Amino acid sequence: SQDHCVLTQQFVMLRVYSSNSNPKLNTRIVGGQVAPVGSWPWQVSLQRSGFHFCGGSLINSQWVLTAAHCFQTTPTGLTVNLGLQSLQGSNPNAVSRTVTQIINHPNYNSGTNDNDICLLQLSSPVTFTSYISPVCLAASDSTFYSGVNSWVTGWGNIGMSLPSPQNLMEVEVPVVGNRQCNCNYGVGRITDNMICAGLSAGGKDSCQGDSGGPMVSKQNGRWIQAGVVSFGEGCAEPNLPGVYARVSQYQTWINRILTFSGEPCLRQWARGRGWQACRKMEITCVVGRW
């Protein structure tokens, strides 16, 4: 009920702001398992000086989608690692690129985490392999109903006070409707630019190192990115699902940037060619193997 939502808002606001801080940004997978090698070929590790700090997803041969809150500095010293399974040890399928552009969404609000989305342009295109392939992005008219299963991946810590994992982790969590998520976090806290996912009982979540990573759902045999790991209150807490930037809200913005960057497919799209047909020509969508 509305009264319940108001009471929940008061409770969450006290928890969030008792230390005069915003909800902690999500950087960790909790309650998941090690991902099989090559299962998520679009997953990237963003690193500075050899240290992982955020995730991201490959969306074509030269662009990566991630979270705006990951970046407050220049591309200097930043590397994007693709085809990576382990943060240490041998990675025979991995390649790396530097970054030439960091483009945060112009309406990103660090106070509310609204529009927490960012594009990175790689220094040169990557060659697609079984371990390095782009993910399809949710169309602007996409709907992800409450209860739909989604997967989140990353190298963040696996629990409070536990070390970061060596290998890429994965966790399955159901979508939580925005109305319920607003009740959980406080009315007005969750905008239309966000999508939530998690168990009401808690125990599974993304949290601190996973920021910027993909939340994907399988539709008609194809993996679709619905969200970008953004923020949450605590980690895997009951009735406090993870919050993600809703990818479908940013198709126009993404397309505009890629168009101006000179992507051939996007130039055709800008002239009126069908976007889906163009994507198929460029083979940028990977048919799921599960």
- The catalytic residues are 69, 116, 211
First to last CA, the chain: 39
The token duo for 272 is 């009126």
**Which helix (H) or strand (E) element contains residue 267?**
helix 264-270
CA distance 181 to 186: 8
Other C-beta atoms closer than 10 Å to the C-beta of 39 total 18
Beta bridge partners of 54: 46
Distance, in Å, from the CA atom of 217 to the CA atom of 221, rounded to the nearest integer, reads 10
Residues paired with 216 in a beta bridge: 151, 225
Instruction: Quote the tokens at residue 30.
Output: 């909790």
Query: How many alpha carbons fall within 13 Å on the CB side of residue 113?
Result: 27
Tokens (6 digits) for 229: 């790991």
